[in-house]
Structure 1
Amino acid sequence: MRKKIICFTVWFMMVNCFIAQSTAYSAEPNKNEEYDKLMSLYKKVETITTIPWYVFAAVDQYERNVRHSRRDIPKANGLIEIYIKPEVWSGPINPNINDTDPRTIGLFGGIGQDGNGDQKADPNNDEDVLYTFANYLQKYGTNIDNIRIGLWNYYKRDKAVGLILGHMKLYKKYGTLDLDKHAFPIPRGYNFTYHNTWGDARGWGGRRIHEGTDIFANYGVPVRSTCYGVVEMKGWNRYGGWRVGIRDIDNTYHYFAHLNGFADGLKTGQVVEPGQLIGSVGSSGYGPPGTSGKFPPHLHYGLYKDNGRTEWSFDPYPHLKAWERAERKKK
């Protein structure tokens, strides 16, 4: 009886392992298929409006991240995740908030449009939603300066416009939607150690919590970008010393602090990619510019998420472990 139980257990584990592996292998094709469908939609509306596809991709990605990090916005019913409020879609004085007739929507000042030619302006239809947003932007013009004005008038938030413009840079440069790869910040072959220190108490400069993970390494050890992103911040901070901030395609801010120096030519607004050199490990900070040596050399690495309203810190340790394991497997 005991042998039967053991055999069944082994068989059950093998089946589960096979299912898990099958799921892992099938995830990538599904993801690529989704990217292909999205790109097809962006390109179609680009042809109609002459607004570059990467503008739609950037807005859609920004809103996708916002939707996934908040509970007050309903989940998308399709691939396009641009959220247009019902009263904006149908019109602020429209008695029918669920109106899908383009004629009455226009009559009541709504922006909803028919993008697929079925005579309906359906806020749950991908083509209608994308064409509606494109039509809104087109009223301001099709060059980037005019698009920037249109984005500000729509979101009324400088941060939102800045993030979308950053996403546009990334999509335009790489010409693909597949920009979610990551790298561990310290290259293989160097000695380093780290533990989960997010949330620990800190006292210098007033009581606060530690908003990151400390990776201890020797002075001068290379520090790399962990993502595809845009350098949003570079310079001195009295807490973080010489530091770099990079914004990725998921609206996440990657913060690298206590650096010994920066990579040659690194500047704000620059596009970087996973594994690209951005600086080196140091012990700068806790004082005026140039202060160094108040603690052992290490990289402080933090992650911050923007949800369209505010930004908050979250624990980078699980992500660092996952990226480290992934790089070990590559070898």
Structure 2
Amino acid sequence: MKKHNFNAGPSILPRVAIENAAKAILDFEGIGLSLLEISHRTKDYEAVNDEAESLFRELLNIPDNYKVLFLGGGASTQFFHVPYNLLEKKAGYVNTGVWAKKAIKEAKNFGEVEVLASSEDKNFTYIPKGYKIPADLDYLHITTNNTIYGTELHEDIDSPVTVVADMSSDILSRPVDVTKYGLIYGGAQKNMGPAGVTFVIVREDILGKVSRPLPSMVDYRNHIANDSMFNTPPVFAIYVVKETLKWLKSIGGVPEIQRRNRAKADLLYGEIDRNPLFVGTAAKEDRSLMNICFVMAPGYEELAPEFLEFAKGRGMVGIKGHRLVGGFRASCYNALPVESVQALVDCMREFEKMHVK
């Protein structure tokens, strides 16, 4: 049976990236050694790191005055790296869910944090809008896509202060004007590669402004000076990032993947809105293209376990909703083909015929 991978992360990767990584594990570039055992100080690996950065820059049009880092520790480590490096007096945060709340909690260890807006009043089912951004902030922190609740910020915002964005789950899914941000970070395990590597895009002039001493491993400047090799980088994960970025470039880059992502989302949201058994959970104008969340419609709630088993029996993987929301979540990241979304839609229609008379 064909499997359709809707996992929220780690998630689906392009097949070609997986196949090339598998070959490199056995013999990297014909050198007689596995990718898993080569030194990160060799020219062979440095070429991998350089190509991954070059592709990333090209696909996102990252300007030269921004540095690209590939680090360990996951996006959650960046929750404290960011304020450690940037928060001198006060930062503003927008609370749009679990990961934003975790970032807020960490930042409070380093200075004053003002929560400028929150969607917690409606269980994070919308993106706050129209909030005031004070000009005296060291930076504004936003989470552009909220995997648990299925909401997404679809456009870059204008801000009088430096914007820091957690783009873990929608990086490379749409064009981004990098110049509107001071720092962008995220875990790679949604759209860029496997778990184990974290990307950071940072405008160099915002660094070195805080008065506190910085531990060596936390100071972005040390990683910049050493081309992401201040300590041993996650070699395998960066190799898969490189292969994933090569695939993305080969299909037409970010504009093409945005078109595909919209088509997938339109297909699934269209079925959710049409099918009397299901209802979406996020405000329509803020619906995520990456994480599509839905529940059983009123009157059909008791069918949720049955539908989950029904869908699993037809090859759907990872569609159970997060425990904080319940229901279902179909994560439609870049590498997910539209055929998988169509298979889920067909499954929903078949289930409808069984239960709606």
TM-score by length of 2: 0.23
Which protein shows a greater Rg? 1
> Taking CA–CA contacts closer than 8 Å with sequence separation of 6 or more, which of the two structures ends up with the larger relative contact order?
2
TM-score by length of 1: 0.24
